[in-house]
Chain A
């Protein structure tokens, strides 16, 4: 249950609810069944300004807060986790690093078109041999005159194939280890860049997850993001912000499953009474609901930490993502159980929500990585 909101937040929330009811929810099932990228919703999110929420007006943004951005992600995820990750990857993983680490020229070139949705963004860090250990980058980049030449590949890249702009990490000096990693802004039209195999996934099936291939892909020097050798720090700070988005997504999935279940248990009758009248149902729902509320507070706290430029953002974001993701998995699993046999069928959305929830424990840092970040902070 949402606490009383300011008039501004309430109006923003109404806009989101309206948008989700008309443009997201009606298509959630079919984009999952057909593994279809939600292209129409992706365009419309740009048209109504969702891609510009936390960025200043000078780049076409709304000058809003991370808390508003998190509310947008979770409200969309309530109905469709696939659509919410399009938003989260675009904003947190592409726009945010350009805004935070880009030059004035880079911001002016990329942000306005990303904010309107004319361009879609993505982020490429993970490689076949560099997952949780992101320091093991094998994609290489060397400077040749006024251009960097990239060679290598990335896997599991969200928005791949639909994105126009990618933030890509590559080794510019292997002898330096993580200090030899640099970040680049790569446009999809660059010769030598191509999109490879599309993954067949368990959940968020409408989201496009593909391999990226770089074969002598020449990037103008001006597209180096941050200084050479600063890529690993940029990746980690970007993921701190991204985890707020994924925490919000997990929260939304959990809340969506809870709302579906509340509706269902009131309608479903067994032993001549609604199953909502059984104490087992009531207590399960009370526990699920309490965990969702707690997850919301953690996500809101992490969002505020970002707005306040907290030096402990990594800790707050990791806590929010860890907890919200585990709550999403637990609540969606219980939602399927409370739906009984119907919950296992694709007639009801809870089985999709359960499949979608799993990825929130894995991407943008597994739950184990979040535990490393949290314990690393509190044991310091």
Chain B
């Protein structure tokens, strides 16, 4: 495992987002940006492989210039190289156009493993990783909660679903999408943090640097059209009664009386 690529996304910290009580919209102002938790776990997965196997980690993000903050954080945690895909041509990208751009960057690099987070907390689509695997023609293991190197050069990967874990054997190159619960990310290291801020080594790539058809990038390359967005109406918690049918019928009748339905 010589080269690992980790794709990360800068997202608003949704735990700090509040709703505007009048308009019902998200108040994004003043909300700190963070590295998406599943992506950070993906980086931790890469760092553990690096600790064990001496791999080189390249971190990629696509976003506006200020998205370099998550790359600095990744370098401060121990990544070796950081690439920011930034170009107005990428703007307005849906998951397909994002996966197109990221894959276009990955194609320009050497890799044995590509890691993405399972999904981003601001979009929750969980599509970018699997789409990249398709574009790159790689075997993909989603919902990854563990990667263990085997003596024969293969890897055992745990795919964690609701009620069970599938342990899958895979050979490089492959792509995994990682679950936050699988990996507790390490802290940044002070010396690496200062290095990341003082000796910037983030490479900026534009659309022209990618191995991709520009028609498939950004808004133009995005078939997803948002029809309407609205706030979810909050419903109060229901109450479960476990009763005999006769008593249950009586209770329902009483409740309907209370509400003047009957």
Contact = CB atoms under 8 A, between A and B. Distances in A.
B194 A48 contact: no
A276 to B, nearest CB: 21
A15 B194 contact: no
Contacts of B193: 8, 11-12, 15, 49, 62
A61 B191 contact: yes
B197 A15 contact: no
B190 A48 contact: yes
A61 B189 CA distance: 11
Interface string B168-189: 0000000000000000000111
Contact of A50 (B69, B190, B198): B190
A57 interface: yes
B159 interface: no
Contact of B191 (A8, A19, A57): A57
B72 interface: yes
B73 A62 contact: no
Interface residues of B, number: 14
Nearest to A62: B191
A64 interface: yes
B190 A49 contact: yes
Contacts of B198: 8
B26 to A, nearest CB: 22
Instruction: Identify the interface centre among B73, B76, B197: most chain A CB within 10 Å of its CB.
Output: B197
A50 B194 CA distance: 12
Contacts, number: 50
Interface residues on A, range: 20 to 34
A164 B31 CA distance: 45
Nearest to B73: A11
B194 A62 contact: yes
B12 to A, nearest CB: 15
A18 B190 contact: no
A57 B189 CA distance: 13
A263 interface: no
A7 interface: yes
A53 interface: yes
A8 B197 CA distance: 6
Instruction: Identify the interface centre among B69, B73, B187, B188: most chain A CB within 10 Å of its CB.
Output: B187
Instruction: Identify the interface centre among A47, A48, A60, A68: most chain B CB within 10 Å of its CB.
Output: A48
A13 to B, nearest CB: 11
Interface of B: 69, 72-73, 76, 187-194, 197-198
13 contacts: A7-B69, A8-B193, A11-B188, A12-B194, A18-B187, A48-B190, A53-B190, A62-B190, A62-B191, A62-B194, A63-B194, A64-B194, A68-B190
Given A7-B197, A49-B192, 14 more contacts: A8-B197, A8-B198, A11-B69, A11-B72, A11-B76, A11-B197, A15-B193, A18-B187, A47-B189, A48-B188, A48-B189, A57-B191, A61-B191, A68-B190
Those 9 A-B pairs whose CB atoms lie nearest each other, nearest first: A49-B190, A62-B191, A8-B197, A62-B190, A48-B187, A49-B189, A15-B188, A49-B191, A62-B194
